[in-house]
């Protein structure tokens, strides 16, 4: 640790876990002058990743819910550095940041290094295309706000073109193929169904909602693999009632400009293709200065969430491969928002202990269940607890619990008073603005 100076704690990645950790570290160690806290991220704003399907459908304007990192840093006693990590020197304890360029290709941030005494890597995950031909070229992804906004722009352009030319004229011209029957694919399907009805209501009536076919393609024999069968059946029934074509047991083998081909010989024509099937950690983590990683680039960590080769480096969230012995000898903690939140809490505790020279505590994942929102139509899920075991919930109760998860994230960032003010502001904003983003 640097002598005669405050210890430097760097958090790389401003997602759910990283931003919550930086906020809480700043409010504790930063405010008391016990450490210098820095958050590093490649973007200037944060939005809760489970909301990106709403941004893509246009039912949520990202500017209404995004958080400015610089403003948060100023309010919560930490520093924000704009940069994209692309390397690490553990001997010198330096993070390597890549040069950044604007839309015209002009360099706005040079390559730099940033020092640390303790490093927390929380860079999240990206979609895994599994090397399938055509996916990277022809599919849209929902890993970032920019990607979600790009999908919404493409959807509006296709809709406006069809409206101006008298409606859909060719096979697949307005069709959407979503690959992946997990939460993201399901939630996007339902939001798109709602969006098509809203666009029609706002005067784009040359295009009928029935002109847009939504196809959800899943390689497994059921939706939501790994979750209870009852949830899968309930979700399938709801999607089919909305007119979404659900194709189960169909493994994608190629994606072309015209559509999606599956192993059974089926071809699904679609103008817009979205890939939401599987995740991996960012590629730059593979072999990052000797850190151990698994086959999907996740950094292997011990129960303390310290990396297996360096006590000064922690990893949390989707980019961490953490043992889950309560599940099985080989299980790892699933990549969910709740696990990132719990990991952030444990690392906050362990960094405090490290600064005091105390031993590290182990992380124990608590699975509180899963919820999947189908927009205004339904929400299904299961809640898990010690007293009642596993409880299946649907409808209004499930919807309220789902919404409370986002409020918990906001509470961790802003506190009770500001969350209350945000709820009031959102109440009036939703009544003053269109119900869908039209530009």
Contacts of 390 (CB under 8 A, 6+ apart): 228, 369, 382, 383, 384
Distances (CA, A) of 34 to 5, 25, 97, 356, 366: 10, 10, 26, 11, 31
In which residue are the tokens 């500017």 written?
63
For the chain, 439 residues long, give each residue's pLDDT as a single digit of tens.
445 589 999 999 999 999 999 999 999 999 999 999 999 999 999 998 988 988 998 888 878 888 999 999 999 999 999 999 999 999 999 999 999 998 899 999 999 999 999 999 999 999 999 999 999 999 999 999 999 999 999 998 888 888 888 776 667 788 999 999 998 999 999 899 888 888 777 777 777 777 889 999 999 999 988 777 888 888 899 899 999 999 999 999 999 999 999 999 999 999 999 999 989 999 999 989 999 999 999 999 999 999 999 999 999 999 999 999 988 888 999 998 889 999 999 999 999 999 999 999 999 998 877 777 777 666 766 665 544 445 555 565 666 676 777 788 888 888 888 888 877 877 777 766 665 665 5
Report the CATH number of the 8-125+281-355 domain: 3.50.50.60
Residue 314: its H or E element: strand 313-315
Which H helix or E strand runs over 96? strand 94-98
Structure tokens at 130: 């599994």
Work out whether the CA dihedral 198, 203, 208, 211 comes out positive or negative. negative
Report how far residue 110's alpha carbon sits from residue 379's, in angstroms, rounded to the nearest whole number.
46
Would you tell me how many other CB atoms lie within 10 Å of the CB of residue 386? 6
DSSP-assigned letters across all residues of 250-311:
--EEEE-SSEEEETTS-EEE-SEEEE-S-EE--GGGTTGGG--B-TT-PEEB-TTSBBSS-T
8 Å CB contact between 80 and 426: no
Which of 97, 100, 77, 79 minimizes the C-alpha distance to 87? 97
List phi, psi (to 5°) of 175: -75, 150
Assigned CATH for 135-277: 3.50.50.60
Same fold, 8-125+281-355 and 135-277: yes
The secondary structure element, H or E, covering residue 194 is helix 183-201
The answer to whether 301 and 322 are in contact (CB under 8 A) is: yes
Alpha carbons 347 and 283: distance in angstroms, whole number: 24
Q: Are strands 313-315 and 118-121 parallel, antiparallel or unpaired?
A: parallel
Per-residue model confidence (pLDDT) at position 92 = 97
- Domain parsing of the chain, residue ranges: 8-125+281-355, 135-277, 369-432
Closest by alpha carbon to 53, among 190, 235, 161? 190
Give one word for 28, left, alpha or beta, with left for phi > 0 and alpha for psi -120 to 50.
Answer: alpha
How far is 429 from 199, CA to CA, in rounded Å? Answer: 19
Say if residues 175 and 270 touch (Cβ distance below 8 Å).
Answer: yes
What is the structure's pLDDT at 389?
46
């Amino acid at each position: 640790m640097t002598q005669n100076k405050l210890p430097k704690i760097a958090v790389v990645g401003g997602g759910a876990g990283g931003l919550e950790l930086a906020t809480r570290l700043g409010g504790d160690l930063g405010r008391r002058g016990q450490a210098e806290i820095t958050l590093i991220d490649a973007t200037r704003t944060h939005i809760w990743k489970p909301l990106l399907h709403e941004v893509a459908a246009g039912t949520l304007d990202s500017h209404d819910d995004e958080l400015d990192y610089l403003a948060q840093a100023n309010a919560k006693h930490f520093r924000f550095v704009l940069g994209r990590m692309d390397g690490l020197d553990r001997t010198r304890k330096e993070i390597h940041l890549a040069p950044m360029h604007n839309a015209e290709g002009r360099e706005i941030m040079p390559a730099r290094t940033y020092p640390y005494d303790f490093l927390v890597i929380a860079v999240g995950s990206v979609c895994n295309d599994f090397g399938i031909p055509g996916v990277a070229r022809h599919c849209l992804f929902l890993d970032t706000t920019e990607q979600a906004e790009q999908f919404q722009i493409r959807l509006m352009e296709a809709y406006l073109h069809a409206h101006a030319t008298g409606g859909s004229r060719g096979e697949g011209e307005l069709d959407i193929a979503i690959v992946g029957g997990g939460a993201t694919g399901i939630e996007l399907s339902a939001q798109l169904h709602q969006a098509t009805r809203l666009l029609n209501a706002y005067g784009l009536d040359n295009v009928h909602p029935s002109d847009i076919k939504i196809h959800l393609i899943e390689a497994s024999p059921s939706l939501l693999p790994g979750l209870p069968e009852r949830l899968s059946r309930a979700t399938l029934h709801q999607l089919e009632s909305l007119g979404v074509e659900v194709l189960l047991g169909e493994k994608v083998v190629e994606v072309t400009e015209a559509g999606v081909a599956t192993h059974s010989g089926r071809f699904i024509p679609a103008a817009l293709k979205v890939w939401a099937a599987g995740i991996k950690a960012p590629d730059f983590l593979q072999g990052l200065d000797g850190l151990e990683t698994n086959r999907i680039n996740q950094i292997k960590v011990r129960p303390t969430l310290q990396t297996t080769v360096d006590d000064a480096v922690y990893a949390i969230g989707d980019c961490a491969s953490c043992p889950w012995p309560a599940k099985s000898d080989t299980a790892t903690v699933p990549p969910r928002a709740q696990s990132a939140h719990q990991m952030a809490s444990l690392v906050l505790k362990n960094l405090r202990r490290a600064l005091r020279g105390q031993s590290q505590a182990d992380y124990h994942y608590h699975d509180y269940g899963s919820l999947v929102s189908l927009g205004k139509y339904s929400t299904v899920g299961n809640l898990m607890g010690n007293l009642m075991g596993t409880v299946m919930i649907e409808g209004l109760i499930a919807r309220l619990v789902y919404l409370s998860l986002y409020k918990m994230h906001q509470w961790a960032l802003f506190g009770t008073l500001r969350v209350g003010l945000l709820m009031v502001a959102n109440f009036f904003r939703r009544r003053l603005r269109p119900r869908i983003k039209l530009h």
